[in-house]
Chains A and B, each alone.
Chain A
Amino acid sequence: QKEVEQNSGPLSVPEGAIASLNCTYSDRGSQSFFWYRQYSGKSPELIMSIYSNGDKEDGRFTAQLNKASQYVSLLIRDSQPSDSATYLCAVPGGAGGYNKLIFGAGTRLAVHP
């Protein structure tokens, strides 16, 4: 069974700082990785996907993937109080067509003014 590990936090950063969220995964064969944001009591919202080693940027978000070390990270630049949420790392799993996501427990981010 594939596993996805995240530090539960909370990670507390001041407004305007860079927040760095990390995720490690157990299956060296994993090919794709997803970051979801989940506000309290709400559903997961997809914010980034990454498939290749290196960095992928989208606005204030940068995903970084290092397959050799089996970790993926999410950087949030210029953090805002509205970024305060739990960030979930997910990798595809399952037999055949990978038709399921395995989620980490999530890292709670708190951005304080």
Chain B
Amino acid sequence: EPEVTQTPSHQVTQMGQEVILRCVPISNHLYFYWYRQILGQKVEFLVSFYNNEISEKSEIFDDQFSVERPDGSNFTLKIRSTKLEDSAMYFCASSEYGGPNTEAFFGQGTRLTVV
């Protein structure tokens, strides 16, 4: 069964360093997302991406965040200068279509620990 894959599964970085989280969405999906979940809290939307551009972003997704689809298969989230409060699980998701009835499927997540 097709699935969203994320690498690495766990990333430890020092505060102020740049990190890149990688995702391979399901191959025929056109919409890509990043969510995060701080330990013990809700899953929060960060950004959605379609047709090589951001379609929506949350207040969390400030200038230190960026997303890119560098080739036909990968979708990346870059955090330029990590802060302690960026420590969280980061989930990539994809969906075949956009719109309210769209089912989104999540990758297994990357646990980011900023020290």
Partner of A96, one of B41, B44, B55, B101: B55
Is A31 in contact with B104, judged by CB distance below 8 angstroms?
no
Is B50 in contact with A88, judged by CB distance below 8 angstroms?
no
By a CB distance below 8 angstroms, the chain B residues around A93 are 45
Interface string of A86-97 (1 = CB under 8 A from B): 001010111111
Interface string of B88-115 (1 = CB under 8 A from A): 0101000000111111111111000000
A103 interface contact, C-beta 8 A: yes
B68 interface contact, C-beta 8 A: no
- Nearest residue (CB) in A for B105 is A46
Q: Which 5 residue pairs are nearest across A and B when measured between Cβ atoms?
A: A99-B48, A100-B45, A97-B98, A103-B43, A98-B100
Residues on A facing B (Cβ under 8 Å): 30-32, 34, 36, 42-46, 49, 51, 88, 90, 92-106
A-B CB contact pairs (8 Å), 21 listed: A30-B100, A31-B100, A34-B103, A34-B104, A42-B108, A43-B89, A43-B108, A46-B104, A49-B101, A90-B43, A92-B100, A93-B45, A97-B99, A98-B99, A99-B31, A99-B55, A99-B98, A99-B102, A100-B45, A101-B104, A105-B41
Residues on B facing A (Cβ under 8 Å): 31, 33, 35, 41-45, 48, 50, 55-56, 58, 89, 91, 98-109
